Amino acid sequence: MWSSNNRSFLGVTIHWINQEILSICSGALACRTIIGRHTYEVLAEILQDVHRDFNIKDKVTVTTTDNGSNFVKAFNVFAEVQRTIQDREEEDEEEEEGHTVFINVTDIFYKTEEDYSLPLHQRCACHTLNLVATRDIEGALTQSEAFKKVSRSTIGKCQGLWNKQHRSTQASDIIKDKLGCQLASLRCLCIFKVMAPLAKALDVLQSDKMAYTGVLVPTISILLNRMEQMKHEANMHHCNPLVDAIINGVKRRFGYIFQDARLLVASAAHPMFRLAYIPSGKKADVVSNLTRTVLNEVDSYFQSPETNLVNAFQNLPMMKKIFLKYNTGVPASAACERLFSVEKDIFRPKRNRLSDANFEKLILCRVNKHLLLTSLATS
């Protein structure tokens, strides 16, 4: 969601995988005006309207949003129940056996227009990591007085240097001469070594090229491993409380991904990772789920060292379908944030009388220009 000039908008982007080169493609789908309060029912209605307008209700595998309570409640109330591969197989077998399914007719007659149906929900991993980097590390200040003293002293010196740059042209010239550029913000100045792995994880998860669903589990696993290694480095003893706070925050906020069958299958179906980052206690379940679907291709897939996406699935059509099905969703909502950055250029104060329809058309034309150029080039 984005607000400007006393108006609020909900941006919806769409992402899919090119079946030939297996690269991620994306585009803007809609930018709808939100009238009144931003309640979970209002958001559910807008999302369902977008799905209905483009006839994609049964084609959406997962919807990624930020961690706002209204989004979370909308999907908790109206989203479909997540099912594993094994669940789907068992349901198919029951249908083939001709089991009778009983339906409560009363529920059909009393069903109102407010009974929305939304796809599976996934919280934005980048937003969650941002919460770790802001809220969770505050716990390090309360746990250790020594770290609190060092942290406040360092931040204070950085703040003073940043202020000096903007008050003195001479200081600004010296900083530019030493660093090669001026300090853009305090955030750029206060990057600690301990925060570098978290920053790299953010770059991977919000990337346009690497943002497959299967990237989430390996990225968080690598982040946790790197932070654990950092605790044993001799020159990092002053920052151990900060490292502990990040580890505890990541485990608390991302612990569910190592139990989520859909995310584990997505990671295993990605040739760059396979079973490397699947928890040891879950590997047998993941392999079993895949074997039930693609019995004749699982062994060949896991034994192959090929990491290139196209080559890895060259002779494995069923594994390719699994990859497409479980890796189409994106782990972060960064695409919508980029959509809103373009909206700021269009919905300027001098153009605040644009109608909702015209504004949506302008933003869609601007953001989807690359799709039009690609279509013209191939035609």
Residue 101 is predicted with a pLDDT of 45
Whether 136 and 233 share a structural domain: yes
Residue 46 belongs to domain spanning: 2-80+117-124+333-371
The verdict on residue 95 lying in a domain is no
Whether 141 and 248 share a structural domain: yes
The verdict on residue 272 lying in a domain is no
Residue 363 is predicted with a pLDDT of 87
Residue bearing the bigger pLDDT, 152 or 283: 283
Angstrom distance (rounded) from CA 180 to CA 249? 35
Q: Are 5 and 348 in contact (CB under 8 A)?
A: no
Dump pLDDT digits (tens) for 88-132: 444 444 444 444 445 454 444 444 445 788 999 999 999 999 999
DSSP letters of 75-120?
HHHHBPPP--HHHHHHHHHHHHTT------HHHHHT--TT---B-E
Angstrom distance (rounded) from CA 244 to CA 228? 9
Number of compact structural domains in the chain: 2
The verdict on residue 103 lying in a domain is no
Q: 311 — phi, psi (to 5°)?
A: -70, -35
The verdict on residue 263 lying in a domain is no
pTM for the model stands at 0.80
